[in-house]
A and B are shown apart, each in its own frame.
Chain A
């Protein structure tokens, strides 16, 4: 089995540039052409799991990407024989003005009569030791079904960061267990 055939790598580089262009413009019709059009196709996103090409397309239509910019930091294309390849991307996306690391893994098969198609994909973000307030608020808002418009996200993040600084000295106090937390009280 020939690994990393230069011709195939050149071909997949052009292929993947076109994919990234469609992703940046959320061109759902074009993006769907890159995926294997079967119920077996799987894509895991940052927050969602989608099984089957139809579900992937539905998700894309309903949820345009939150980023305003996406940059590939490093792309590793590897081919195995003439019909299987992996493309691994280390990327940076800019959400609400804040750059965030992002990772994308794709498994490709050269489907007879169709050409290269993504059969499995997974987007992830590295866990950070001190997660910034952006991801926290997005995650919390999503779970509370409180959708924050992308243009409002930066302000929310700034306020949470400011509040965290205000909370810090208070959180450093070791209050006795008997201290009453009831919200209403009599003066």
Chain B
């Protein structure tokens, strides 16, 4: 029997312990991951580039360090994937688009990748995403749809769909994604795994292809809270290459992970967040609230307007970002994305600035609510994983378009940069999982992760691997 660290269920914590103790060689971990990726690729379509040579070199460096008695790093031998908008030195950064396919390879790693590498982790490659991250389903026209490992007929969510699928299928225990309007939390919910969208400005975005500068975040995916916290801690730290990245000192989450903070005030979001989804989705959020003893119900006034404002900022900044590419390569974009970006590029400035001014006011209003509460709870998506190609869904008895509406519960929160952990509840709607958002005040990630760990220990939230035969 092979070592548990080589199995698809292995967590980063298991793997690093086995590698650091010398029980398993990092090279064997890399080889096992490469074999899993190859064996399942046709079914899942998570990876767009497998960096086998790089992973094996990084593994050899870890093995050499261990043999020489040096510290191989806190993530020694842990395989991970990155959404294909993260720069990997020597690889073309696709950002999910044919438009970028002829670009020169990146000359250096993104900051987040460099930090994982410095921790001894092994980069297995770049994974699929919705084009230019303007998406919630990862049904990419250029590289094909990524399939949900829990049900291969369904979407893995988006836009970080490849990240979530690669972790869910047990190809890797960790992945890096990005979240502008819900692109970490939607795939976490669809795939039923843990995802962290940190506070806006907490983690460096340098070397991650942008989408909406005002709203872009990066964050990790994992199958255990300990892994999520571990990755998050190693990604923290100031970075002059990202003008938005905070200079506050890192606030590690792993140290106190096992205990729930005392006197935590927890509330279930009501109103906007308690309606509009499948009733079983709202029941999942209520179950989490109950498990945490949350009795209060709290409303975020004008959440619908916050979502509208996020929509306007996204269209405008996204369209402006791609202006030159829309001029020169309009035919290479996916039609849906191109039309949205073109419309965004032409949108009146009055809409955009009104949205930004509303954001400043709304942030103050919501910060005031956090004076009386520490954690808020809401569903991550209005429905479980949609079927690939599905265009419409029933919400509250009315038929709605899938693609523009999957972010209904995530958008208002990223709009003002609040940190959120997406906590997976399994078998929430039939056999499908649903993610529940644990929402905190700015910079409260460590507390949220302790709440997440508590839910994991209680058994209510879990993210078992869905191993593809």
Contact = CB atoms under 8 A, between A and B. Distances in A.
Query: Are A and B interaction partners?
Result: yes
Interface of A: 136-137, 140-141, 144-149, 152, 155-160, 163, 166-167, 169-171, 173, 175-176, 179-187
A160 B330 contact: no
A167 B308 CA distance: 7
B363 interface: yes
B343 A156 contact: yes
B75 interface: no
Interface string B334-354: 011011101111110011011
Given A146-B326, A160-B347, A166-B308, A187 B358 contact: no
Interface residue SS majority, chain B: helix
Q: Closest 4 interchain pairs by CB?
A: A155-B339, A187-B417, A159-B343, A179-B357
B442 interface: yes
A75 B339 CA distance: 37
A184 B243 contact: yes
B339 A156 contact: yes
Contacts of A137: 342-343, 346
A179 to B, nearest CB: 4
B214 A184 contact: yes
B360 A173 contact: no
A169 B357 contact: no
B417 to A, nearest CB: 3
Contacts, number: 124
B363 A185 contact: yes
Among B338, B345, B346, B351, the one with the most A-chain Cβ atoms within 10 Å of its Cβ is B346
Given A160-B347, A170-B308, A187-B200, A152 B353 contact: no
Interface residues of B, number: 49
B336 to A, nearest CB: 8
Contact of B338 (A152, A160, A175): A152
Contacts of A157: 343
Interface stretch (B44-52, B140-148, B161-169, B309-317): B309-317
Given A170-B355, A179-B357, A182-B356, A159 B339 contact: yes
Contacts of B351: 163, 167, 170-171
Given A160-B346, A179-B361, A186 B201 contact: yes
B152 to A, nearest CB: 31
B244 interface: yes
B416 interface: yes
A148 to B, nearest CB: 6
10 contacts: A147-B327, A155-B338, A159-B315, A160-B347, A163-B343, A166-B308, A167-B308, A170-B308, A170-B312, A187-B418
A63 B419 CA distance: 51
Nearest to B243: A184
A187 B361 contact: no
Nearest to B331: A149
Contacts of A166: 308, 311-312
A152 B358 contact: no
A5 B55 CA distance: 88
Contacts of A186: 200-201, 246
B350 A145 contact: no
A110 B205 CA distance: 71
A136 to B, nearest CB: 8
A184 to B, nearest CB: 6
A158 B358 CA distance: 25
Given A155-B339, A171-B354, A181-B356, 10 more contacts: A159-B340, A159-B344, A166-B308, A166-B312, A170-B309, A180-B357, A185-B214, A185-B360, A187-B417, A187-B418
A166 to B, nearest CB: 5
Contacts of A181: 353, 356-357, 360
Nearest to A177: B357
B347 A179 contact: no
A141 B358 contact: no
A156 B340 CA distance: 7
B305 interface: yes
A125 B135 CA distance: 38
B209 interface: no
Among A144, A156, A183, the one with the most B-chain Cβ atoms within 10 Å of its Cβ is A183
B68 to A, nearest CB: 43
Nearest to A175: B357
Given A170-B354, A180-B357, A163 B315 contact: yes
B199 interface: yes
